[in-house]
Each structure stands twice: as C-alpha cells, then as structure tokens.
Amino acid sequence: MIFRSLSGRKRTRPRSPGQRRRVSETGSSERADMSSVFPSFPAGGDTGSASGDGAPPAASLAEPPPHDAPSTAGRRRDGDGPQEPENPFGRPGRPLRGNPFLFGLTAALGVLTAWLLVQAIATAGSALVLIIVSLFLAIGLNPAIEWLQRRNLSRRLAILIVFGGVIAFFVVFGLAVVPPLTEQTTGFVQHLPEYVQQLQNHPLIRSVDERYQVLEKLQQYVTSGNLASQMFGGLLGVASVVISALFSGLTVLVLTLYFLGSLNSIKETGYRLVPRSRRTRVRLLGDEIIKQIGGYVAGNLIISLIAGVVTYIFLSVMGVPYALPLAIFVAVTDLIPMVGAVLGAAVASGVGFLTSVQAGIACVIFFVIYQQIENYLISPPVFKSSVAVPPVATIIGALLGGALLGIVGALLGIPLAAAVLLLVREVVFPRQERL
C-alpha cells in the first residue's frame, strides 16, 4: 500500500531475460498486426507520393521478402497456437487404422496367403512324408549307433555298419519277393484258359453259365486281343508303381543317411532357436521325446525281426512254399499297429491252406499262439524303458495317424502320442496347478 501510494501504480518484480524476450516478441507481433490493419504513412507526414523533398513513401522503401522465404498462408497466428514450419501444407490427418477398406484388404490378403500356403503343403505332401519317414528312421536307428559308439567305435563307422544292415535287409527282401511274385503271375496268366475250362465242369457254375453264359463270355474275352492290350497297359501301370516305389525307397535311404550324420547338429540348431531362459528345459524335454521315439522305432524293429525269424522257421518246418517271402511279409506288416499282425497272419495262413488243409490249420493255430506271446511276453520288456502309452492313446494315435497319412501315419501315430502325453504331463499340468 505504501509503494502504491508513492508511485501511483503497482510495483512489479523485475523480469527475467526470457520473460523480456517473450514480451518483446509479443509486442512485435502486435505491431505487425496493427501495421497490417493501418497502413503506414510517409516519414514527412505527406500523404501524396510527391513530397517536398521528393522522398518516396515509407512503404516503397521496405525491401521485398526473399523468394525462398516460406509462405505464411495457412499458418497459425501467434494467438492461435505454436507455428509448425515443418508442415507448410497443414497438419497431417489421423492415420487410417480404422478404415474398413484397409481392414478388408488386409484380411483378404491374409486369407490368400494362408490358402497359398495350404496349396504348397498339399503339393509337396509326398516329399514331406518321405522327409518325416526318413527322420523317424534316423531317430529309430540312432540308439543302435550310440550303442556301437559306447563300444569304442567312431560315429561314422557305427553309421556305416547300421546303414549297411538296413541296405542288406532291403536287398534280401527284394531277392526273396520279386522272383516268386513274377513266377506266380506268369503262371497264372498262362494257365488262365485252363482254369476257365475247369470251372465249366462244376455243376453249380455250369447251371449259372447255362442261364447267363458267363464262362463263354469270359473265354471269348481271354482268347481275344483285348486281354493282351489291357494286360500290357496294366503291366505298364504296375511298372510305373514299382519305379515310383523304388525311387521313394532310394530317397528315404539317402535322407536317412544324411539325418544320421547330422542328427546332433540338427538338434543343437533347433535348441538355439529357443530363448536362453527356456533352453535348458526345452533341451531336456526334446532329448526325452527323441529318446522315446527312437526307443519305440527300435523296439518295433526288434519285435518285427523276431516275428519274421520265428515265422520263417515254422513255415519251413511245415513245408509251406515261399517261406522266406512270407516271413519277410509278416515282419514288415508287424510294424503296422493293431492290424499289421492280423494281415500278415492271414496271408501266410492262406498260402498254407493252398498247400494243404492241415498246413493251413497249423498256421492259424501258430499265429494265434504267437500273437499272445508277442503281446504279453515280448513287447512289454522291449517297450518298458522307451514308450509308456496308455492303450486308449495308442488306439487314438494309430487311428488318427492312419486317417491322415495312411500306413505311415499309423506307424508314427504312437510315438507322436507319447510325445504329446509327455508335454502335457510336464508342461500343461504343472501350469494348471499354479493357476
């Protein structure tokens, strides 16, 4: 109150340099606005262009703005807000994130990409099956290689020994199956007219033939040239199937050899893709899954080998022809879960019945007894330390695998079911207990 009465006005505190700068800028901007409203007058006070001393107006003395100076059109005034010299054409609008057109275009591109990916997988389905089979064979043969390594053999030498045994098995299988199959097919084609003639002597078939003339039409078809042409085409089809099977088998052997040689590096590369914080646990789970798959494949091969050897000995004793091809067929079909053993026993027993009724009955009794021995005495010790899968999971895995990939899927369904059960038991259940 004392200072106000003395000075007649309110005393303020001294301003800082920044405040003085802002005040000067505000004053300059206000003067610029006033100059835009009120035109400037000549310095001498004359309103005309011709003054007493001939001086030009003050407006003409002002220098024109440089050409490269940014235009002030469209900019904000000082009172409206801060200027934006980096956006001479105005502030950008909101991004089009919620635009329905862009959303639909992105969704359509995603669907198209997924469809192309599915088509690519379907096109390369046969190659993927060969790769999966080769990888499972490599994992199944790896325990034998590790067993040889524990006997002071190098891994390369162990791979050569195991892989040589696999090639020897395929060679023996081909030599045992191809000659009898070719001989029986040729003999059947040559004696087909005689078989038709023998059918005419049967009373029931003769009565049917008198009514519908089936045998006469069949004999005309056999003696005509149509059978030869169709057999030739059929042989070409069979040849293409055989060539395709040979190529697939060779591809599987080569891929299995490569997988055996680089199995450890493949595992380490896969583990390095996992973050470091989870790598130890993933490594333990992955090693256990590979151990179970390898144990299942190796155990299944051992059981099939035992079945083939025992079947060959029995058929040789009974005098059933083609004992070796039948034993190899029984060993191969024994690899297929649930139905493989029944299929091999049916074929071998059928050949036994063609030999004699006594041999056929003996084959049926032998396979029934052997299946019980295999299921209750051979399989449990073999699979005790490798795969422990409940019967329901075994059936479901084999059915789903067979529906997806056929025989190969049925072979791989059980170890995959064991891997899934391991992940559920070690990962899903503990997490659910913590929640």
Q: Is the pLDDT of residue 235 over 60?
A: no
- pLDDT class of 37 with cuts at 50, 70, 90: very low
Structural domain range at position 222:
122-273
Q: Burial, 306: exposed, middle or buried (Cβ in 10 Å; 0-12, 13-18, 19+)?
A: middle
Return d(Cα 265, Cα 268) in angstroms, integer. Answer: 5
Range of 12-16, 28-32, 235-239 with top mean pLDDT: 235-239
Inside any domain, residue 101? no
Inside any domain, residue 242? yes
Return d(Cα 423, Cα 255) in angstroms, integer. Answer: 28
Residue written as tokens 């109150």?
1
Inside any domain, residue 35? no
pLDDT in tens, 348-363: 898 888 788 888 899 9
CA nearest 330: which of 362, 355, 307, 351?
307
Return d(Cα 33, Cα 25) in angstroms, integer. Answer: 12
Inside any domain, residue 37? no
Between the alpha carbon of residue 370 and those of residues 25, 30, 184, 312, 359, the distances in Å are 106, 110, 29, 13, 16
Q: What is the pTM of this model?
A: 0.60
Return d(Cα 173, Cα 72) in angstroms, integer. Answer: 92
In Å, how far from its chain's centre is CA 64? 73
- pLDDT class of 226 with cuts at 50, 70, 90: low
Q: What is the arithmetic mean of pLDDT over 132-158?
A: 88
pLDDT in tens, 321-333: 888 888 888 988 8
Inside any domain, residue 215? yes
Q: Is the pLDDT of residue 184 over 90?
A: no
Residue written as tokens 């003054």?
51
- pLDDT class of 419 with cuts at 50, 70, 90: confident
Inside any domain, residue 268? yes
> What does the buried/exposed string (b/e) look like for 52-77 if buried means 16 or more CB atoms within 10 Å of the residue's CB?
eeeeebeeeeeeeeeeeeeeeeeeee
Q: Around Cβ 385, how many Cβ atoms within 10 Å?
A: 11
Inside any domain, residue 236? yes
Inside any domain, residue 315? no
- pLDDT class of 111 with cuts at 50, 70, 90: very high
In Å, how far from its chain's centre is CA 262? 20
Instruction: Pick the more confident residue, 94 or 114.
Output: 114
Domains: count for the chain: 1
Q: CA geometry: angle at 213 spanning 212 and 218, to 5°? A: 125
- pLDDT class of 310 with cuts at 50, 70, 90: very high
- pLDDT class of 163 with cuts at 50, 70, 90: confident
